[in-house]
């Protein structure tokens, strides 16, 4: 009887193990197209004046000086993380003013970050 129980336990463990070990990290939630569109219109309202492509836009010009032509235009940068965008928008950076939540809400800032972060490669799954 004991043996049978042991054998049964082994069989159960064998059946259980592979699926647990192979369990993949949950896929990142897809960024909703609506959020991207909302982020784009907030960007146009609050940021484009300084960060639209081309000269005559102080943000774009200053970033070209600081980071080079490839990283001058926020909308085509592949390296902007949501954390960096949040930090700069809430605190300002040199000539760039800070924005309060009464101007750009947290939800709005999140949408701007998603819009600007859409070119980022997907994050690597975390190891536990």
Exposure letters 86-111 (e unless 16+ CB within 10 A, then b) = eeebeeeeeebeebeeeebeeebbbb
List helix spans (H) across the chain: 2-22, 33-46, 48-51, 58-67, 82-91, 106-116
Please state, in angstroms and rounded to a whole number, the distance separating the CA atoms of residues 108 and 128: 31
Least distance from ligand HEC to the Cβ atom of residue 83, Å? 10
The distance of closest approach from Cβ of residue 85 to ligand HEC in the complex, given in angstroms and rounded to an integer, is 5
Does 72 bind ligand HEC (CB under 6 A)? Our answer is no
Query: What six digits make up the tokens of 5?
Result: 């129980």
Q: Minimum Å distance from CB 118 to ligand HEC? A: 13
Cβ proximity to ligand HEC, 28 vs 95, nearer residue: 95
Residue (6 or 100) nearer to ligand HEC, CB: 100
Give the interface with ligand HEC as residue ranges (CB under 6 A). Answer: 46-47, 49-51, 58-59, 62-63, 66-67, 74, 80, 84-85, 88-89, 93-97, 99, 104, 112
């Amino acid at each position: 009887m004991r043996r049978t129980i042991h054998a049964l336990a082994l069989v159960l463990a064998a059946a259980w193990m592979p699926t647990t070990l192979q369990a993949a990290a949950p896929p990142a939630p897809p960024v909703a197209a609506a959020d991207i569109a909302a982020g784009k219109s907030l960007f146009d309202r609050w940021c484009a004046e300084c960060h639209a492509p081309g000269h005559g836009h102080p943000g774009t010009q200053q970033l070209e000086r600081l980071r080079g032509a490839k990283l001058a235009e926020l909308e085509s940068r592949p390296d902007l993380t949501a954390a960096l965008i949040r930090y700069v928008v809430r605190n300002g950076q040199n000539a760039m003013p800070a924005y309060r939540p009464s101007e750009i809400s947290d939800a709005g800032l999140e949408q701007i970050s998603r819009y600007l972060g859409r070119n980022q490669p997907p994050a690597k799954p975390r190891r536990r």
